[in-house]
Amino acid sequence: MRVMASYETRTRRFSRAEYERLIELGVFQPGEPIELIGGELMVAEPQGVAHYTAIVKTAKALEAAFGPGWHARTQGPIGLDDDSEPEPDVAVVPGSPEDYSRAHPSRPVLTVEVAESSLAIDRQRKGSLYARAGLADYWILNLVDRVLEVYQEPVPDPAAPFGWRYARREVFDASARVTSLAAPESSIPVSRLLP
């Protein structure tokens, strides 16, 4: 059993295999908003109207930008590492949904979190987790400031929660356009993502 010493309270950690078995056994309620993040079972941010609208708009805009051969998963599980199975708000993966009928995808080419109250967690904790997994392109659609934060270039950083962070951070406002690393030909107006 792994424990993290940095907290006052150490809690039992779960591996991804254990987490998937707990779901199979029905220990959690169906549709319960939980994610496994570095062995911890996190309760996801409650979903407001703006949050949900942003997810739908972002998924639609990204599918249009990426075109055939890709699809955008919304709040679907990602088999990120041995002790993490997050459910990012939007994740662009190659292929079609049927390609993942046996196992969750593990390496989205673009991962997006829509953030209101979860902004600090999405920036630090999830940012560090995604950087550690080598996800090249991570966006936070920041509904508080109505901007898109783009994170790229994962680098090790012992001070980060999971030992990695993104070296590059760019912020785009509603009037800007943004391009994903994996779809360099198509630029997307940020306004098309915001609710």
Instruction: Work out the number of other CB atoms within 10 angstroms of the CB of residue 192.
Output: 16
Tokens found for residue 167: 């070296």
The site string for another protein over 123-162 (x = CB under 8 A, - otherwise) reads -xx-----------------------------------x-
Considering CB under 8 A, how many residues would be counted as binding another protein? 27
For residues 118 and 42, give the distance between their C-alpha atoms in angstroms, rounded to a whole number. Answer: 12
The burial of 23, by beta-carbon neighbours within 10 Å (0-12 exposed, 13-18 middle, 19 or more buried), is given as middle
For residues 146 and 141, give the distance between their C-alpha atoms in angstroms, rounded to a whole number. Answer: 7
Nearest approach, Cβ of 147 to another protein (angstroms)?
20
Positions in 2-61 near another protein (CB under 8 A): 3, 7-12, 14, 18, 21-22, 25, 27-28, 32, 34, 37, 40-43
The site string for another protein over 84-113 (x = CB under 8 A, - otherwise) reads ------------------------------
Q: Which of 121, 147, 178, 182 binds another protein (CB under 8 A)?
A: 121
Considering beta carbons, is residue 127 or 194 the nearer one to another protein? 127
Tokens 């989205």 locate to: 108
For residues 94 and 121, give the distance between their C-alpha atoms in angstroms, rounded to a whole number. Answer: 27
Instruction: Work out the number of other CB atoms within 10 angstroms of the CB of residue 41.
Output: 16
Nearest to 103 by CA among 76, 68, 127: 76
Over 140-152, what HEC string results?
EEECCCCEEEEEE
Considering beta carbons, is residue 41 or 147 the nearer one to another protein? 41
Nearest approach, Cβ of 162 to another protein (angstroms)?
11
Q: Which of 49, 103, 120, 144 binds another protein (CB under 8 A)?
A: 120
SS3 of 17, please? helix
Considering beta carbons, is residue 34 or 109 the nearer one to another protein? 34
Considering beta carbons, is residue 27 or 64 the nearer one to another protein? 27
For residues 189 and 173, give the distance between their C-alpha atoms in angstroms, rounded to a whole number. Answer: 10
What is the binding site for another protein (CB under 8 A)? Answer: 1, 3, 7-12, 14, 18, 21-22, 25, 27-28, 32, 34, 37, 40-43, 120-121, 124-125, 161
